[in-house]
Amino acid sequence: MVLSTESLATPTSTTCFDDGSYTVSKRSIRKSSSSDTPNPPLYIVYPNEKGTYPVILFLHGFSIPNISYTDMFEFIASHGYIIVAPGQTLIELLRGLCVFSAVGDVDSAAETANWIDENLQSVLPNDVSPDLENVALAGHSKGGKAAFALALGHANTSLKFKALIGLDPVAGRDNADRLEPKILNYIPKNFNISLPIALIGTGLGDDGCCGCFPPAAPWGCNHPFFFNECKPPTCYFVAKDFGHMDMLDDWLAKLAGMFVCKTGKGSYADMRRACGGIFVAFLKAYMFNEPVDLTAIIDSPNSVAPIKLDPVLWLKS
């Protein structure tokens, strides 16, 4: 691995962690008998102002409602992005609890990607358009693993992605019990992915909760192992003092912290702002060749970010 330390610019401040200039709206779209909408209900957050905006296909974590990322989605959309987040039906939720696999998640993600390519414009206001030349693929937890699997070609889609972002991705219960399709092989730079990649990990994700629950992002299947298999260009950020679900809306982050996984002591709002700001800075750099914010984070992470980031790496070659 080669860590680049050269700076393209050293700004005194960055705007990616501040609220964007756009107002936003959100809507849920369910499948009907006369609709081409994919079966998982879709949650869409978009800017209100007239314009053409890049798109993020975001895949939720295991059994996590897609609407529970609303605060983070609204922050990202305020910077001029359309987020499309597929959800899950009750049957899919029950199947996910019984079948230890992500194959169905990858297939559903591909179905949603094809729907974005063909039908997203039809559910947006007439003066708000998706920029289908600039589409990012992202996901959290099990959805992060599904995003990597889709990027690796485990399902086919007509939509072409410009970047990949993994938000504390999880590949399974442990390295001997990984979710299908198994994508981690523990070989450095093994992923055959030509996209620029950003990884956001959590420092507490591989800790259990109250001594009763196993880690939500267990060692051997969590972010450092994904990073090890990524090829440059890759950016890597670890929210050192936060847990696996601390970027969710407050109600679920608090609930998860009591019953599911270890939570940090910092502000959930700051964690969401940090994750959203990294999304914005990374996509500006790799979609639009505007690396100033990303460079600022890499050069001085704890001067510009609202939370402690350690480590922070940018592998360019």
Token duo for residue 192: 């055959």
Q: 134 with 162: CB under 8 angstroms?
A: yes
Query: What is the dotted CATH code of the domain comprising 24-315?
Result: 3.40.50.1820
Q: How many CA atoms lie within 13 A of 214 on its CB side?
A: 7
Each residue's pLDDT tens digit, 159-199: 999 999 999 999 998 888 888 999 999 999 999 999 999 99
Q: Coil, strand or helix: which one is 139?
A: strand
Query: If pLDDT is split at 50, 70 and 90, which confidence band does 33 have?
Result: low
The pLDDT, as a whole number, for residue 11 is 42
Q: How far apart are CA 90 and CA 93, in angstroms?
A: 5
Q: What is the pLDDT of residues 223-252, one digit of tens each?
A: 999 999 999 999 999 999 999 999 999 998
Strands 82-86 and 51-59, bridge-based pairing: parallel
Q: What is the predicted pLDDT for the residue at 137?
A: 98
Q: Which of 144, 52, 124 is nearest to 84 (CA)?
A: 124
Quick check: is 244 catalytic? Answer: yes
- From the list 14, 140, 143, 145, the residue with the least C-alpha distance to 72 is 140
Q: Which of the two residues, 10 and 97, has the higher pLDDT score?
A: 97
- Residue 168 bears catalytic tag: yes
Whether 154 is catalytic? no
Please state, in angstroms and rounded to a whole number, the distance separating the CA atoms of residues 32 and 162. Answer: 31
Q: What percent of the chain has pLDDT over 90?
A: 75
Write down the pLDDT at residue 8: 38
Q: What residue spans of 99-230 are helical by DSSP H?
A: 103-119, 142-151, 223-229
pLDDT per position as a tens digit, 34-76 = 567 786 789 999 999 999 999 999 999 988 999 999 999 999 9
Beta bridge partners of 46: 25
Q: Say which of 60, 108, 244, 249 is annotated catalytic.
A: 244
> Which of 192, 42, 208, 178 shows the shortest CA–CA distance to 122?
42
Q: Is the pLDDT of residue 1 over 70?
A: no
* Phi, psi (degrees; rounded to nearest 5) at 123: -110, 5
d(CA 201, CA 278): 12
In the chain, where the domains are located: 24-315
Catalytic annotation, pick one of 68, 78, 108, 141: 141
pLDDT given for residue 4 in this prediction: 36
User: pTM of this prediction?
Assistant: 0.92
> Which of 78, 140, 168, 299 is an active site residue?
168
Q: What is the DSSP letter of 127?
A: T
Mean pLDDT of the region 256-275: 90
* Residue 23 reports pLDDT greater than 50: yes
Say if residue 7's pLDDT is above 60: no
Cβ atoms of 143 and 105 within 8 Å: the answer is yes
